[in-house]
Structure 1
Amino acid sequence: MEQLTGLDAAFLALETPTTTGHVGGVSILDPSTAPERLDLARITEVIEERLPLVPVLRRKLQNVPLGLDQPYWVDDPHFDIEYHVRELALPRPGSPAQLAEQVARIHARPLDRTRPLWETYLITGLAKRRVAVYTKVHHSAFDGVSGTELGTVLMDLTPEGRELPPAEPFDPSAPPSRLSLAGRTAVGLAKRPLQATRLATDAIRSVPSLAPAIGPFVARVAGVGRRSDGALLEGQRLTAPTTPFNQTISQHRKLSLTSIPLDDVKEVKKAFGVSVNDVVMAMCAGVLRTWLLEHDALPEVPLVAMVPVSIRDPRAHASGGNRVSAMLASLPTQVSDPVERLARVHQATEIAKSQQAFIPQGLVDDISDFAPPALTARAARMMFGSQLLNRLPAFNVVISNVPGPNIPVYMAGAKLLAHYPVSIVTDGVGLNITLIGYLGQLHFGIVAAREVVPDVDRMTAGLSDELALLLRAARALER
């Protein structure tokens, strides 16, 4: 039995009739390298033998009475692997568009909270006799980095696989009684006054570290921050404009997948002295500018992107749960020149990193743990129900860059050719751009509410166009 943190539980409160709280990924596999036939039985066997390495995959949620404390992960006494591993087939030869459409439909469906919060689908019928494996897991159990680590547990470094430790038969522990949970909760409630005092003390102690940045809120509004050498960085005020991406959404999704050569991105990075993430952000800014122009909706001020930031200790990668913060960065969509956009993105991300660094993460975690789930869920319902994020968005789009393996890996002996992330959209933020690096490629998964960006394929096509413009400018500069 393991209790969720406040941040983990926040992803449960996120869910509404139109918003799901899970993240996923589509793995494209070449079964020609597999020593055995790659079918549903084989995929199920591979996952089942590795379940002991990831205990949360056989645990379900146990809520605390009245929602007065964070829920627990408890063993599922009726765990059924065949419920979680499924199969579907595309009409051969299935195209990338058909694959994306099927995954979008599956991704839109919420996970059953009475069971462990994950599902895996083997998808056959792809062109060139390739297969896809789509897995979705709830964000309350894994963040981007720990989700990637889950992938490494299910995959191997060679087609022959690896030696696994002998697994003992699954003997689920008895779930706690309501009386036991009520007792634990009562003890926790008795400690709340002490927790409140400690939170207040920690907040006061944090003031000196916040002062140099003028405070995170003031810094964000004023658009300033400090470099590591203490120099003041000045930029535009981070006030997110209203865009078509910021509206109430339905439960339906659109998904588009594409891959970009990492070497080309690195060539641009080297030429202009920026980071890979700066180049990615500049490409996204160009794509969003083009889309907004085509829909006669381009604001005169820059968009604001929310960029998740992992704060996970490298030694805790495989522990699951969430260790993530976020930074807000200006996206210069009002700038027409791609090179100038890249320069402004570089400055904006410097400012965003400096502001995010001044927020004590331990304080944020303590505050999220302190809030009872019943209150958190009610606050989330009120926020989404009021459509406040539509009228006054804190940010316009989510852009997330998740690290991936830089060596070939195999699932059931089949070589992983590409892996595309599939993330979350919510009321008020109907567009999410997530990418992961693998084997010299950046693999993008762009998810949108279906009615918000019905032509999401235009965005993925635009990524290559934006990179080509930057690459041309980089080579001209080198000459």
Structure 2
Amino acid sequence: MPAVVAPARRAGVRRDASSWGQGGVLRQLSALDAQFLSYESDINVANIGGLSIVDGQLSRGDFAELAEERCAVTPTLRQRLMTVPLGLDRPYWVEDEAVDLGYHVRELALPRPGNDHQLAEQVAWLHEQRLDRRYPLWEVYVISGLRGRRAAVYVKAHHATVDGVGGAVLLNAFMDREPSPKRQQPGPRAEPDRVPPRAEVLARSVAGIIAHPARLTRSVVETVPYLDEIPLVSQLPGAVPVSRAVRSVTRRLAGLEGVPELPSLAVPWTPFNGPISRHRRFAFADLSLDEVRSIKNAFGVTVNDVVVDLASTAVRRWLIGHDALPEEPLVACVPFALRKKGVEETGNRVTVMLTSLETQIADPRERLQAIHEAMQKIKDRFDLAPAQWLQGLCESVPAALTGLADRAFFGLLARGCPAVNLTVSNVTGPRIPLYVCGREVLAQYPVSLINDAGGGLNITAFSYNGELGMGIVVDRAMVPDVWHIADYLHDALEELKSLVG
């Protein structure tokens, strides 16, 4: 089996505003994409991934053959970073001349008995390891030794490459809708992408620095209407009234209706807030999507509301068990996708909004209703005025200072007042069964990230073929009993089912 595959070239690729050169495309990372690179350290690792359980045995050789085919037709798998001299500007994506599958596709085996806890422990260790930036930013691990004649495939990529939705697309690039699909053929070959000389890259970067004051002014102006959505900034004196006043005037002048005001959310302390370590724990759980939908219909809420409520209930029970439940509600970071339906977009097209988890409410019915009202408020606001503060904030910092600014900001959040308590996310996946190397994918679980800014706990849901795969990533020291949270998710679903009758 060849260890290196030369990428197929693509003809007729459209250039965008951040591309230049003759003979191909040279695409620059967006400010948000680059932020995931700049803040990364051995502790704040910016990997996102997915764990798939497949029916039957699977070897590295089988998967390497599949990966060779998919690398030829999936541009993201062939992109590596080209940095700018002296770090004066954001990096660019260039195609790897030959993708080294000996590096990207690896294998390991679990010791007996090959149970879920052993699998999760191995995935946690793999997930906390940084990706080598000299290669395209993805790796695949084929894991054998699972009991029940199953195998696992763990795929990880850097957050600079994809967001949560894009990560699902990348994961599914290795999967098929049928056990024996036709071989995917690459498109026609085109001239290789031209990688400009370092002097040319440097000159372009210097020109960008000269123009940055204008971009900075524009970004700051565009960010002001969203000050009441930005963690910590919204708690500064005067931030909320200024934000509301500017937003009211600008929307009125544009002939747009007003947007719902967001409540001021004070972030309480929890055991999973503070500086995280470099070590992770991971657990996963399966919930019935049909049962979640029946609860949704019975209470007149959304699937996303139920997912957030399940996370709220599970975290509430964990905090009670550790005698650490605050009187105030926990505050969660909830990502929102900015991708347009039917439009293929690379990189990160996401923003985040904050919501109250209502963990202080003991009654499960009241807690679900309160979460629904809180989520509805931010959804109504998002539908009228999608939050752009994250992009604006990233654009406002000069590229040469981004790394220093990001690491300083993360350190401030970790050691001072937390910006949020945790992250809760819900990603929509395929509704049909998928196959990898002819084996059916039995389950899929998201493996997301934690950092100093977002807290040492992340609960992400991924829907697949009638099931809701829950992935829980935590700091190893902060939450040593991560599987308790997985159990509490099951308990939370049973509690809501009992209310439906």
> What SS is found at the alignment partner of 1:316?
coil
- Distance in 1 separating the partners of 2:190 and 2:120: 36
Q: Deviations for 1:175-212, whole angstroms, at most 9, x for unmatched residues?
A: 433212102212323433443454466568x69xx9xx
Q: Give yes or no for contact 2:216–2:397 (8 Å, CA) kept in 1.
A: no
> What SS is found at the alignment partner of 2:140?
strand
Q: 1:54 to 1:232 in 2, by over 3 A?
A: closer
- Distance in 2 separating the partners of 1:144 and 1:434: 10
Q: 2:436 aligns with which of 411, 421, 428?
A: 411
Aligned to 1:250: 277
* Residues 1:353 and 2:383 aligned together: no
Q: 1:238 to 1:79 in 2, by over 3 A?
A: same
Please state which structure has a larger fraction of its residues in helix.
1
- Distance in 2 separating the partners of 1:328 and 1:88: 39
- Distance in 2 separating the partners of 1:371 and 1:235: 26
* Residues 1:437 and 2:463 aligned together: yes
Which stretch has the larger CA shift, 278-287 or 295-304?
278-287
Q: 2:424 aligns with which of 396, 399, 402?
A: 399
Aligned to 1:312: 339
> What SS is found at the alignment partner of 2:424?
strand
Aligned to 2:31: 6
Aligned length: 458
- Distance in 1 separating the partners of 2:450 and 2:221: 36
Report the residue type matching 1:443 in the other structure.
G
Report the residue type matching 2:240 in the other structure.
V
Aligned to 2:450: 425
Q: Deviations for 1:420-474, whole angstroms, at most 9, x for unmatched residues?
A: 0001111251100011001111000100010010001000000111111111111
Aligned to 1:17: 42
Aligned-pair CA distance for 1:167: 5.7
Aligned-pair CA distance for 1:38: 3.2
> What SS is found at the alignment partner of 1:135?
strand
Aligned-pair CA distance for 1:248: 1.2
% of aligned pairs identical? 43
Report the residue type matching 2:333 in the other structure.
M
Aligned to 1:126: 146
Report the residue type matching 1:218 in the other structure.
V
Q: 1:221 to 1:389 in 2, by over 3 A?
A: farther
Q: 2:329 aligns with which of 285, 302, 308?
A: 302
Structure 1: stretches of 5+ with no match in the other structure: 32-36
Q: Give yes or no for contact 1:250–1:450 (8 Å, CA) kept in 2.
A: yes
- Distance in 2 separating the partners of 1:232 and 1:426: 31
Question: For residues 24-103 of structure 1, what are the structure 2 equivalents within 5 Å?
Answer: 24-31=49-56, 38-77=58-97, 79-103=99-123
Report the residue type matching 2:482 in the other structure.
V
* Residues 1:237 and 2:264 aligned together: yes
Report the residue type matching 2:52 in the other structure.
S
Structure 2: stretches of 5+ with no match in the other structure: 1-25, 249-255
Q: 1:198 to 1:295 in 2, by over 3 A?
A: closer
Aligned-pair CA distance for 1:52: 2.7
Q: Give yes or no for contact 2:259–2:381 (8 Å, CA) kept in 1.
A: no
Q: Give yes or no for contact 2:262–2:378 (8 Å, CA) kept in 1.
A: no
> What SS is found at the alignment partner of 2:360?
coil
Which stretch has the larger CA shift, 257-266 or 53-62?
53-62
- Distance in 2 separating the partners of 1:277 and 1:135: 25
* Residues 1:327 and 2:328 aligned together: no
Which stretch has the larger CA shift, 336-345 or 145-154?
145-154
Aligned-pair CA distance for 1:263: 1.3
- Distance in 2 separating the partners of 1:163 and 1:399: 38
Q: 1:397 to 1:196 in 2, by over 3 A?
A: closer
Q: 2:158 aligns with which of 119, 138, 144?
A: 138
* Residues 1:160 and 2:184 aligned together: no
Q: Deviations for 1:226-275, whole angstroms, at most 9, x for unmatched residues?
A: 9xx98997886311111111111111110001100111111111111111
Aligned to 1:287: 314
Report the residue type matching 2:215 in the other structure.
Q
- Distance in 2 separating the partners of 1:86 and 1:323: 30
Aligned-pair CA distance for 1:389: 3.3
Aligned-pair CA distance for 1:41: 1.1
Q: 1:137 to 1:363 in 2, by over 3 A?
A: same
Aligned to 1:34: none
Q: 1:184 aligns with which of 196, 204, 208?
A: 204
Q: 1:160 to 1:365 in 2, by over 3 A?
A: same
Q: 1:356 to 1:393 in 2, by over 3 A?
A: farther
Q: Give yes or no for contact 1:28–1:417 (8 Å, CA) kept in 2.
A: yes
Report the residue type matching 1:332 in the other structure.
E
Aligned-pair CA distance for 1:155: 1.2
Q: 1:369 to 1:166 in 2, by over 3 A?
A: same
Q: Deviations for 1:345-395, whole angstroms, at most 9, x for unmatched residues?
A: 011112222444565556753552353333221112212334x33431121
Q: Give yes or no for contact 2:123–2:154 (8 Å, CA) kept in 1.
A: yes
Q: What is the TM-score of this pair, normalised by structure 1?
A: 0.88
Q: 1:363 to 1:466 in 2, by over 3 A?
A: closer
Which stretch has the larger CA shift, 437-446 or 191-200?
191-200
- Distance in 2 separating the partners of 1:143 and 1:235: 25
- Distance in 1 separating the partners of 2:334 and 2:27: 29
